[in-house]
Structure formats: C-alpha cells, structure tokens
A and B are shown apart, each in its own frame.
Chain A
Amino acid sequence: MLKHTFAAGLAVLGLAAGPALAQDYPTKSIEIIVPSSAGGSTDTTARIFAEIAEKKFDGFNFVINNIKGSGGQKGFEAIARAKPDGYTIGMVFTPQLVAHIVSGRASYTLDSFHIMGNMGEDPALVAVPKDSPIETLDDLAKGDDLTVAVNGIGSDDFIAAKNFEDAAGVSFNLLPTKGSTEQKSAILGGHVDASFMNLTQIIGQHKSDDARIIAMLTRDRSDLVPDVPTGVEQGYDVLMTATRGFVAPAGVPDDIAARLDEVLADVMADPEFTQKAEASSIYLLPMSGPDYLAYLETLQADTQKVFDAAPW
C-alpha cells in the first residue's frame, strides 16, 4: 500500500521519468478525451466504458475530459498531441475523424494514433415523410429535383447522399442542416422530400408512424427495424455508418498498448456493459484495432473521392 502511494506520488511529481512498465501500469488515473460535449451519445459511451472498466480491472481509474468543438477536431488533435505514455486515450468518431484530414484542416493523420478498436455505431439510412409517394430508393433515384436534407457538409449523411447521387446518377437539391433536430422537423413537417440520417435519430418516429425509413445503408438489415430493406438489397451499393471507437496517441509502448486493447475488448464482452449500452440506445459494433484501422483507411479514401469531386 505504502509502496503504491509512493509510486503514485512520484508519478504526480513527474519524477517517474522512464517509460512505464506494463506490470506496474496503471499507477495513476487514465484520461479519456471525449471530443464532444458532456451528456451526448459519444460521452455516454465513454462514461459507461469507464464505469465497467473500473469495476473489472483493479487499479484502473478513468477521468473523462470533454474537449468539444469544430466537429471533434479540437479533441482529435488533443489526443494526437498527448504524451504517449498510456495515461491519455480518447474517443474518435467517423466520418469526422477522416473528413478533417481530407479537407486539409487537421494537424493529425491516421498515423498519429494507435487504434484500439471500435465500440459502437449509428447506421445511416434514408427517411421520408409519412405520406410521401417515395417508397423505395428507385423512387428516390428518379427525382432530380428532390430536396434532400443532410446534417452539415462533410458529415456521414452528406457523404452518403453524395455516394447515392453518384450510384443513381441523380443530383439532389441538398439541404444542409444544423443537426438531426432540424432534419427531423423538416421530415415530419414535410418541408423536404427525404433525409439521410442515422438510426437513433429517427427510429422512434418510424415506429410511431410519423416518418418512414425506406432504406438502411448497412450491409445487413437491422434487428431494430427488420422490415426495412437495405440499400444493397435495392441495388444501390451505398454503405454508411457513424462509428465511435477508442484510440491512444501513436508511440504508446507496445506492452501498454496491448493492455489497453485487452481492456477495451474485455469491457465490450461484458454483459453488464452490453445491457447498459442498449438502455442508452448505443448500438455496439465491436471491431479490433487492425480491423478498425482498415475501415478508417477505406473511409478516408472514399471521403477523399467525394471531396475531390465537390470540395467544401
């Protein structure tokens, strides 16, 4: 106990210089940088993770630090800049993480991170007003003049809509909004013909028949709305989802990085974690570090194509 306190004291004073060893790790609290405001969905994901990880692993203590702003860019940069000693990790979300790289605004690249793995997702979809004559993606593809709402420029909705335009050979009257609330009221009020958005944002309205989801932009149908066909089923190969994963700054010692990856994987396999995530409408999509990195690289290439065609 005394030794433990002493070590912690040294660490606090900044005297414990040399690289930390995995068997002692962690000797102090680990900071999780959350690049969005407290109380949001990404923040809730981080807090549930911290709660379960502290319960499961002795000596692990987490402090959440919300660095919001600029579509996550401030927070992503803070993670990339952090000292790679395993005492700062962070959450990232797509496609903003790669969109900032593509638009040339970010001071980081994917190489600035050790990718720990993905945790959750919010799949993209196409929704229409309840009385809309548009019933399938084919109907949507017919209308060159349709007004289609997306969340801001460079968002997942925007990139999905651009990819769909490309696949269907149409050009929409795109309406950028300041978030899902505006998209929802535009759909429910019939101010737009369709909206590209995410499942958590409109599932309630779909179930209460205030709006209609006509396609899920996922590979398989969602268990939550099994009656809705996917875009692929309807012949449009447009896939999009908003992922939320964990990363550490690049350069974290290998043994500590391995330990962090293990903590993440273990927490995600925990039934209590699954249950809490479900209650908070967080859809889990476990991906290992290498898998998630591969996903991010593909996404970056896709986003680059959209950006090159119509830069923002």
Chain B
Amino acid sequence: MEYIAIVLAPASLLAILTGTVAGVVIGAMPGLTATMAVGLLVPFTYTMDPVLGLMLLGGIYAGAMYGGSIPAILLNTPGTPAAVATALEGYPMTRQGRGRLALKVSVVGSFMGGMLSALVLLMFAPLLAKQALAFGPAETFLLALMGLAGIVSIADEDTSLIKALLAGVLGMIIAVIGTDAMSGGLRYTFGSINLIDGIDFMPALIGLFSMIQMLDIAGQRHETTIDASILEKAQKSEPMPKGIARYMALGSGTGTVVGVLPGEGATIAAFLSYNFAKRIAGVKAKFGTGAPEGIAASEAGNNGCVGGSLVPTLTLGIPGNSVAAALMGAFIIHGMIPGPDLFAVHADKTYPFIYSLFIANVVFLIVGISVAPYLARIALIPPAIMVPVISAFAVLGSYALNQSVFDVYLMIGFAFFGLILKKIGYSLEALILGLILGPIAEGGFSQGMIIGKGSPAIFFESNIAKVMWVIILGLLTPPLVAHVRRMLRR
C-alpha cells in the first residue's frame, strides 16, 4: 500500500508522465530508439532519487514501444522493427480513411499488452524467470521457426506459395551478409567495413516500407485527388470492432511469454502474435488489406514484451532485450544489483517502479486516444507535399541510427529492389520475415548443434521443444491444406 502511495506522489507522477510522453515521441521517430534514450539518460539518473529515475526510464520504455506504431500506421514507416506487423495492417487502413480507428486499436492493444505484462511481472517474476532458463538455443531456433511459419500463411489467392517462400529465402540470404558468429569469418562483405556487422534492419525496413510507398505514389500516372468522403470518414469516430478484445488478449499473452525468454525481443513477439491472430481469424478478416485484428494482436504483442522482458532482468540480471539491458544499468548505478535482493532489501524502490509501469500505460492510453483524431489528419496531406517530406524523413531516419551515409544508400537500394519484387508479385512481408528471423534461427541452430555435439536430437528432446513443434505444425497445416485445395481446384 505504501508503495502505491510513493507512485501516486506528485513528483513520481511527473516523472512517469515526462518519461512516457518523451518515450512516445522517441518511438515515433525512425532512427531514435528507446535503447539509445534509456542508455543516455542512465548517467543523469545518478544524481536523481533512484525511484524517480527508474520511473522516468520505465516510462520511456513503455511509451517508445507504443510510439513506434504511430508512423507505422500513418506513414507506413515503422518507428521500430517491432511495429512492422502493425504497418502491414495499419497503413492500408489509413489509405481507406480508417486511420483514426487504426490508431485507437493500436493504443488500446498496447495498453492491454502493457498492463497484462506488468501484472505478470508484479505477481510471478521470480517463478517465471526460473522456468524461462530452461529455454536454450535449441528452443530459440524453434521460436524463430514458428515466426518463419508465417511465410507460408502469406501465400493466398494472389501470392503463390513458391513466390512467398522464395522471398523468405531471399531475406535470409541477405541476412547472411556480415560476420559469421560461429567462425568469426566474413560472409559477402566484399572488403567493406560497412558490411562487417551485416545489414541493419532499420534502413532496410524504411526502404521496404516508406520509401517504396513514396515511389509507388510518385509513380502514379494521375495524381490521386483527395476524396471528400475519405476526409469525412477520417474525422468520424468509428466504434471498436466487435471481438477485438480476443486478439488483444492473444497478443498480450504471446508478448508476455516471449518477453520473459532471455534475449528474445519485441519484434518476434509482434510477428508471432500477428500470425496467431491471422490463423484464428481466418480469411474473412482480410489480413493484409487493413484488418484491425492484426494491429490489436501485434501491438499487444510488442508492449507485452515490456513487462515480460523485465522479469529475467530484475530477478536474474539477464536482460530480456537491449532496452532492458540499458535499464539494468540504471538499477546497478543506484547499487541495486538484480537478483532476490531487489524484491527484499530494495523492495521500497523495485515495487514502486513496477507499479509505475501501470501508470505509464494509462498515460500513453490517454495521450494516444486524445491525439488520434489530429494525427489521423496526416493521411489527408496531398501527395505533392507528402512524398518529398516522407522521403526526407526516410533519408534522415536511415542516417541517424548509425550516422552512416552507407545506410542511406542501403535504404534507397532496398526501396528500388523491393519495388521490382513487388511488381513481379513477390511478397515483401515474407522477405522481411526472412531478413529479421533468419539470423535468430541461424544462431539458435548453430548453437544448438554445438551444444548437442553435432546431433540434431537436441531440437526434439525437451518438453518445451515438443510443444513448440506441435504449435509449428498447427501453424503450417491449415495454409498448406488450403494451398493443396487451390491446386486441385485448378
């Protein structure tokens, strides 16, 4: 009870509010990341009251995870890789004049995911952390495989299965560029120091999403005039679709579980949630053409990671992802070494911090709901202004992350390359899945093989692995059956 009083003190509320709003803005800017913001602010919190400092940083984390969805929905530019799945459904909705609803679904989904995961962190942290340790490299490989199974469900009436698979493999091939983590050897770097770390996701994503969109719009023969009815629609408040809570719950659960696993991130959580939602919703939900259900699952999924990733961070000192790692630095700087002590000796700081995450979720819910009608108007900006402005942001965003001009060329290269692929009917979504999940799968596979001393039996041994194989088969069977049916009909 006294902990709740600490959180509700004016100074605490101000810290949470500042952090969360700043986080939303940081998350919304491609090129700025929560990791960077938290990392830079950690030394500043040294002189602050520890609780206030931690609340500020926690707010940034929660806010940034939600903020990434705003440009994804409105401009087809995911602010973070975790918002890619959101862009797949959100941007089509914006084009249909339903941007306001998309924003609303995204903020409510993020809120639900954040709340559930914070609750799990509060109630079950030490218990869950021990369980999560059983999750080794072999299981990581299976998790990535689960995400890659999404490639098969991309294939539908319009995209052939072969083309989707080829695009996925192409993505994985591109991800091979860089240093081989197992041997230290260089792969396809052509002597360029810029390629030693491989292709950075953000320039690739900005190229494949926003820049392609701009090239597409700029390439239209006739300038699309703004439809007055769209304008009206964007202003009108649509009610939340029925049954959407189911998808939010699904995403929240998936996100929290994936978040708890050491080293797994929000990106894979969002993709998995999205894919699960797609399977459950079936064809009638029209995934890929603006389904709010997809946004709900993906956003609940990535925000579910916030609380989830703090479970191993606080109890074992194993950060769930890079933001959690930076946040762990803030705990250490105040002498709070992660472990059981955090929940006993330092309980008066740790618990208020965890409670503050609930408030942070409420803050971005209010902010998100209240600015949605204004933000939705961005969709009404005429292409003649939109194209140059977004292109400039695309260049800036690609440059800012690593201060690298090479990344700008990379972004432009991906845009043209992606445009060609898109025109000849290859799925960019599959390419991106391969690009992001390929390296995770490779790392898990090679490490699993080393630990298994060369025997693949390790991928089938543990109970977790067995359950995961069942889920993978469950994800693969329906789309494959549907595919065979289509073939037979023809």
Between-chain CB contacts (< 8 Å), 8 pairs: A47-B43, A73-B193, A174-B450, A177-B181, A185-B318, A189-B136, A208-B317, A279-B46
**Which 10 residue pairs across A and B have the least CB separation, nearest first?**
A39-B39, A153-B184, A312-B184, A208-B339, A189-B133, A70-B196, A185-B262, A191-B136, A204-B337, A204-B317
Q: Write the chain B residue with the least CB distance to A68.
A: B402
Residues of B close to A289: CB separation below 8 A: none
In the complex, what's the smallest C-beta–C-beta distance from A165 to chain B, in angstroms? 16
User: In A295-312, which residues have CB < 8 Å from any B CB?
Assistant: 312
Residues of B close to A67: CB separation below 8 A: 403
Residues of A close to B197: CB separation below 8 A: 69-70
Knowing A175-B451, A204-B317 are in contact, say whether A281-B339 is a contact too (CB < 8 A).
no
B46, A175: Cβ atoms under 8 Å?
A: no
Q: A74 an interface residue at 8 Å Cβ cutoff?
A: yes
Residues of B close to A204: CB separation below 8 A: 317, 332, 337-339
User: In B344-372, which residues have CB < 8 Å from any A CB?
Assistant: none
B337, A207: Cβ atoms under 8 Å?
A: yes
Q: B453 an interface residue at 8 Å Cβ cutoff?
A: yes
Q: A237 an interface residue at 8 Å Cβ cutoff?
A: no
B193, A74: Cβ atoms under 8 Å?
A: yes
User: In B325-349, which residues have CB < 8 Å from any A CB?
Assistant: 325-326, 329, 332-333, 335, 337-341
A205, B184: Cβ atoms under 8 Å?
A: no
B43, A185: Cβ atoms under 8 Å?
A: no
B46, A147: Cβ atoms under 8 Å?
A: no
Residues of B close to A153: CB separation below 8 A: 181-184
Q: B417 an interface residue at 8 Å Cβ cutoff?
A: no
On A, residues with C-beta under 8 Å from B are: 37-40, 43-44, 47-48, 67-71, 73-74, 77, 103, 105, 145, 147, 152-154, 173-178, 181-182, 184-186, 188-192, 203-205, 207-208, 210, 276, 279-281, 312
Residues of A close to B329: CB separation below 8 A: 39, 44, 280
Q: How far is the CA of A34 from the CA of B385 in the complex (A)?
A: 39
Residues of B close to A190: CB separation below 8 A: 133
Knowing A177-B447, A210-B339, A312-B183 are in contact, say whether A70-B193 is a contact too (CB < 8 A).
yes
Q: Write the chain A residue with the least CB distance to B38.
A: A39
Residues of A close to B133: CB separation below 8 A: 185, 188-190
Q: How far is the CA of A279 from the CA of B443 in the complex (A)?
A: 34
A207, B339: Cβ atoms under 8 Å?
A: yes
Candidates B40, B137, B337, B402; contact of A191 at CB < 8 Å: B137
Q: How far is the CA of A61 from the CA of B335 in the complex (A)?
A: 30
Q: B316 an interface residue at 8 Å Cβ cutoff?
A: yes
A37, B36: Cβ atoms under 8 Å?
A: yes
Q: How far is the CA of A47 from the CA of B184 in the complex (A)?
A: 31
Q: How far is the CA of A146 from the CA of B337 in the complex (A)?
A: 30
B183, A181: Cβ atoms under 8 Å?
A: no
In the complex, what's the smallest C-beta–C-beta distance from B341 to chain A, in angstroms? 7
Q: B35 an interface residue at 8 Å Cβ cutoff?
A: yes
In the complex, what's the smallest C-beta–C-beta distance from B323 to chain A, in angstroms? 10
B316, A178: Cβ atoms under 8 Å?
A: no
For the A-B complex, the count of residue pairs with Cβ-Cβ distances under 8 Å equals 128
A154, B184: Cβ atoms under 8 Å?
A: yes
Residues of A close to B186: CB separation below 8 A: 105
Residues of A close to B182: CB separation below 8 A: 153, 176
For the side of the interface on B, what is the size category? Answer: 35 or more
Q: How far is the CA of A48 from the CA of B263 in the complex (A)?
A: 29
A152, B341: Cβ atoms under 8 Å?
A: no
In the complex, what's the smallest C-beta–C-beta distance from B265 to chain A, in angstroms? 11
B181, A178: Cβ atoms under 8 Å?
A: yes
Knowing A44-B43, A153-B184, A154-B184 are in contact, say whether A175-B339 is a contact too (CB < 8 A).
no
Residues of A close to B340: CB separation below 8 A: 208
Q: How far is the CA of A173 from the CA of B335 in the complex (A)?
A: 36
A188, B36: Cβ atoms under 8 Å?
A: no
B35, A39: Cβ atoms under 8 Å?
A: yes
Residues of B close to A177: CB separation below 8 A: 181, 447
Residues of B close to A44: CB separation below 8 A: 42-43, 329
Residues of A close to B337: CB separation below 8 A: 203-204, 207-208
A175, B450: Cβ atoms under 8 Å?
A: yes
Q: B135 an interface residue at 8 Å Cβ cutoff?
A: yes
Q: Write the chain B residue with the least CB distance to A99.
A: B184
Residues of B close to A154: CB separation below 8 A: 184
With A37-B39, A185-B312 known, 6 other A-B pairs at CB within 8 A are A44-B42, A174-B450, A181-B263, A185-B262, A190-B133, A208-B339
Q: How far is the CA of A44 from the CA of B46 in the complex (A)?
A: 12
Q: B134 an interface residue at 8 Å Cβ cutoff?
A: yes
B136, A186: Cβ atoms under 8 Å?
A: yes
Q: B243 an interface residue at 8 Å Cβ cutoff?
A: no
Candidates A69, A205, A210, A280; contact of B333 at CB < 8 Å: A280
Q: B185 an interface residue at 8 Å Cβ cutoff?
A: yes
Candidates B36, B39, B316; contact of A205 at CB < 8 Å: B316
Residues of B close to A175: CB separation below 8 A: 447, 450-451
Knowing A37-B39, A208-B340 are in contact, say whether A181-B319 is a contact too (CB < 8 A).
yes
Q: How far is the CA of A105 from the CA of B192 in the complex (A)?
A: 10
B332, A184: Cβ atoms under 8 Å?
A: no
User: In B35-69, which residues have CB < 8 Å from any A CB?
Assistant: 35-36, 38-40, 42-43, 46
User: In B106-165, which residues have CB < 8 Å from any A CB?
Assistant: 133-137
A205, B317: Cβ atoms under 8 Å?
A: yes
The interface centre, meaning the residue of A71, A154, A185 with most chain B CB atoms within 10 A of its CB, is A185
Candidates A69, A173, A189, A207; contact of B453 at CB < 8 Å: A173
Residues of A close to B40: CB separation below 8 A: 38-39
The interface centre, meaning the residue of A174, A175, A188 with most chain B CB atoms within 10 A of its CB, is A188
Residues of B close to A68: CB separation below 8 A: 402
Residues of A close to B136: CB separation below 8 A: 185-186, 189, 191
Residues of A close to B135: CB separation below 8 A: 185, 189
Q: How far is the CA of A69 from the CA of B197 in the complex (A)?
A: 7
A210, B450: Cβ atoms under 8 Å?
A: no
In the complex, what's the smallest C-beta–C-beta distance from B443 to chain A, in angstroms? 6
Question: Per-residue CB proximity of B8-40 to A under 8 Å, as 1/0?
Answer: 000000000000000000000000000110111
Knowing A39-B39, A173-B450 are in contact, say whether A188-B326 is a contact too (CB < 8 A).
no
A43, B451: Cβ atoms under 8 Å?
A: no
B181, A176: Cβ atoms under 8 Å?
A: yes
B263, A147: Cβ atoms under 8 Å?
A: no
Residues of A close to B402: CB separation below 8 A: 68-69
In the complex, what's the smallest C-beta–C-beta distance from A100 to chain B, in angstroms? 10
Residues of A close to B43: CB separation below 8 A: 44, 47-48, 280
